[in-house]
Amino acid sequence: MKKILYFFLLTFLFSCTSNTIFKKPKDLIPKDTMSLVLQEIMIASSSKYVKNINLEKNINYMSFVYERYKIDSTRFKNSNLYYMSNIDLYQKIFNDVKANLEKQKEELTALKNKKDSIRIDSIKKHKVVKKPIDLKNNKLTLKKIVPKS
């Protein structure tokens, strides 16, 4: 009886693990392009809540990403589903995306720091130094104004 119970318990535990890998779609986005698309999608989704040059918010930039890489949303969803089912490959893609985004962030931070240092230097250069007034040596003379009658 114990053997049967152990058999069913082990069968149940091994049947719970999912090893489902979906079929490769016919129009699968290549791995390197998928990495770039995911990177752009992350930037587009985060910039949705930031005002643009025209001070507009809540603009959906996803269509621009699809248009840039000449894909549609269904092709992206099918490719994304395939890569998500293959966890090891998807992890590699996301590590690549993360590395690229961190590299871009460092470059933009360096550029911002350079612009800020130039601005601060120009402010210091043109700063007018005010000299304190020496009240002991500079006496103001006041004239008494007498009204005319």
Tokens in use for 64? 């621009």
- 99 or 122: which leads in pLDDT: 99
State the pLDDT at residue 100: 94
| pLDDT band (50, 70, 90) for residue 104 | very high
Cα–Cα distance measured from residue 61 to residue 82, given in angstroms and rounded to the nearest whole number: 24
Tens of pLDDT, residues 33-77: 999 999 999 988 887 777 666 666 667 778 888 999 999 999 999
Look up the pTM and report it. Answer: 0.62
Domain ranges for the chain, please list them: 27-98
Tens of pLDDT, residues 105-142: 999 999 888 887 777 766 666 665 566 666 666 555 55
**pLDDT(147) > 80:** no
Cα–Cα distance measured from residue 149 to residue 143, given in angstroms and rounded to the nearest whole number: 18
| pLDDT band (50, 70, 90) for residue 19 | low
State the pLDDT at residue 137: 61
Through-space distance between the first and last CA atoms of the chain, rounded to whole angstroms: 130
Tens of pLDDT, residues 1-17: 667 766 666 676 666 55
Handedness of CA 66, 71, 75, 80 (dihedral sign): negative
State the pLDDT at residue 79: 93
